[in-house]
Amino acid sequence: MVVLTAFRAPGRVNLIGDHTDYNEGFVLPLAIDLECVVHATVRTDGLVRAGSADLRGEVEVAADGSTEPAEVEPPWGRYVAGIVRTLKDRGRPPVGIDARISSTVPVGAGLSSSAALEVGLALALCHAAGFELPRVELARACQEAELVATGVPVGIMDQLVSLSGKRGHALLIDCRSLAVEPIPLPPRLAVVIVHSGVSRMLVDSAYAERRHACEQVAARLGMPALRDATLEQVAEEPRARHVVSENARVLEAARLLSEGVTDELGPLLNASHASLRDDFEVSTPELDVLADELVAAGALGARLTGAGFGGCVVALAAREEVDAIVERATGRYAARTGRRARTFVCRPSDGAGPEQGRPGA
Ligand code: GLA
């Protein structure tokens, strides 16, 4: 009997706390209602075959993890080989699947299309083999899959939020303990994502370079990670100063949201953007203009979200004002940069799981 299963895994937007996860700091992301869906049937010949309507080509890798991820073509297949490998390392039996992948998470936007793909595939592969892992371990397997697939030493935020998202909530994640605390988002506030129209560029090498710079400062200070540094200790180190100040902003934002004091959130988002632009230097002229125009048009606050170097800005705005704000801001953005911005007003969503209404048939 052929058993069809379907799993969905959402992308994410990070409200505040960028380049803090790999410094064992704090982040405040939410799972969004753009997602990757993986339909899978079990194969009996030891192969994992994946195809997608949106991504070109088809890939075939050995279900026992022996296919070298970095050598797979087309490149999106490296994520498939990567997750097969990292799950095998954790004991998944080598059961093959046929996977049909579809995704509404835009690629190269900084909304974690790759984490959504890894998580969706991981759930399908585990289900097919009757194999289970605790959620945090599954997130680690997906994070490691990204590393073997791309060579980029990413943190754990994207994979963990894709697995742990909670409808109506952002998640305060302590990236040292990996404790996840859902923080309710007031329905009167809309989370607005605006794509600058510039795909993320140079992000891989620059990301690794930033991470290395942070680790060097921590080592010099004799601490395991910048999570432990004070502002005084890093006053002369712009990269580390961003990390330390950003951690404080994340905790403050989570506290304000928990207490329902939303007026003061905007300045925190704006300060985060300034810090990513000036101290961490991961912004672009387009992201700066977009964040400025959103605030000028009436958003509470706005900041680049994710790794930077292109992609999206996230803003918070009063729900009834969103349409007018977006229209004004994207109009001004187009006039100043000649680029067309694309907007997503997203709903904070549940984390990955079986696709509703389409369980195994
Ligand atoms: C990427 C990485 C995350 C995180 C962000 C920056 O999305 O995958 O782990 O480091 O950049 O906050």
Q: What is the structure's pLDDT at 253?
A: 98
Q: According to CATH, what is the number of the domain 184-346?
A: 3.30.70.890
Q: Which of 59, 8, 76 is nearest to 38 (CA)?
A: 8
Q: What is the structure's pLDDT at 358?
A: 47
Asked if the model's pLDDT at residue 330 lies above 80, the reply is yes
**Local structure of 100: helix, strand or coil:** strand
Measure Cα distances from 281 to 14, 117, 293, 324 in Å.
18, 28, 20, 31
Q: Which ligand 1 atom sits nearest the alpha carbon of residue 17?
A: 12
Which residue matches tokens 């006039």?
Answer: 335
Q: What mean pLDDT is reported for the chain?
A: 95
Q: What is the structure's pLDDT at 361?
A: 34
| Confidence label for 356 from pLDDT (cuts 50, 70 and 90) | confident
Q: What is the structure's pLDDT at 204?
A: 77
Pair 182, 169: CB distance under 8 Å: yes
Give the bridge partners for 189, in sequence order.
318
Does the pTM of the predicted model rise above 0.85?
yes
Cα of 294 from ligand 1 centre, angstroms: 23
Asked if the model's pLDDT at residue 4 lies above 90, the reply is no
Cα of 17 from ligand 1 centre, angstroms: 9
| Confidence label for 202 from pLDDT (cuts 50, 70 and 90) | low
Asked if residue 118 has its Cβ within 6 Å of ligand 1, the reply is no
Asked if residue 157 has its Cβ within 6 Å of ligand 1, the reply is yes
Q: Running DSSP on this structure, what letter comes out for residue 326? A: H
Who wins on pLDDT, 53 or 178? 178
What is the rounded (10 degree) CA torsion for 169, 174, 178, 180? -20
Asked if residue 55 has its Cβ within 6 Å of ligand 1, the reply is no
Q: What is the structure's pLDDT at 261?
A: 92
Asked if residue 268 has its Cβ within 6 Å of ligand 1, the reply is no
Asked if the model's pLDDT at residue 251 lies above 80, the reply is yes
Q: What percent of the chain has pLDDT over 70?
A: 97
What tens digit of pLDDT does each residue of 253-281 get?
999 999 999 989 999 999 999 999 999 99
Asked if the model's pLDDT at residue 3 lies above 70, the reply is no
* Mutate which of 14, 15, 21 for ligand 1 pocket (most atoms within 8 A of beta carbon): 21
Instruction: Specify the residue with its C-alpha closest to ligand 1, atom 9.
Output: 155
User: Which ranges constitute the DSSP H helices of the chain?
Assistant: 77-89, 113-128, 135-150, 157-164, 203-220, 238-259, 265-278, 285-296, 322-337
- How many CA within 13 A on the CB side of residue 326? 24
Asked if residue 308 has its Cβ within 6 Å of ligand 1, the reply is no
Asked if residue 309 has its Cβ within 6 Å of ligand 1, the reply is no
Cα of 21 from ligand 1 centre, angstroms: 7
For the purposes of burial, counting CB atoms within 10 Å of the CB of 232, is it exposed (0-12), middle (13-18) or buried (19 or more)?
exposed
* Mutate which of 112, 157, 205, 243 for ligand 1 pocket (most atoms within 8 A of beta carbon): 157
Instruction: Specify the residue with its C-alpha closest to ligand 1, atom 1.
Output: 307
Q: Which ligand 1 atom sits nearest the alpha carbon of residue 157?
A: 9
Q: What percent of the chain has pLDDT over 90?
A: 92
Asked if residue 280 has its Cβ within 6 Å of ligand 1, the reply is no
- The second-level CATH assignment, the architecture, of 5-176 is 2-Layer Sandwich (3.30)
What tens digit of pLDDT does each residue of 49-107 get?
999 988 788 999 999 999 999 999 999 999 999 999 999 999 999 999 999 999 999 98
Asked if the model's pLDDT at residue 357 lies above 70, the reply is no
Asked if residue 12 has its Cβ within 6 Å of ligand 1, the reply is no
Cα of 20 from ligand 1 centre, angstroms: 8
Stretch 18-26: mean pLDDT: 98
Instruction: Specify the residue with its C-alpha closest to ligand 1, atom 11.
Output: 307
Q: Which ligand 1 atom sits nearest the alpha carbon of residue 22?
A: 10
Cα of 220 from ligand 1 centre, angstroms: 23
Domain ranges of the chain: 5-176, 184-346
Stretch 324-348: mean pLDDT: 97
Asked if residue 35 has its Cβ within 6 Å of ligand 1, the reply is no
Asked if residue 303 has its Cβ within 6 Å of ligand 1, the reply is no
Q: Which ligand 1 atom sits nearest the alpha carbon of residue 207?
A: 11
- Cα dihedral sign for 14, 15, 19, 24? negative
Asked if the model's pLDDT at residue 359 lies above 60, the reply is no
| Angle of CA points 306, 312, 318, to nearest 5° | 105
Which amino acids are annotated catalytic? 158
Q: Which of 217, 125, 211 is nearest to 175 (CA)?
A: 211
Q: What is the structure's pLDDT at 360?
A: 40
Asked if the model's pLDDT at residue 309 lies above 50, the reply is yes
What tens digit of pLDDT does each residue of 35-53 get?
999 999 999 999 999 999 8
Stretch 28-38: mean pLDDT: 97
Asked if residue 279 has its Cβ within 6 Å of ligand 1, the reply is no
Q: Do 5-176 and 184-346 show the same overall fold?
A: no
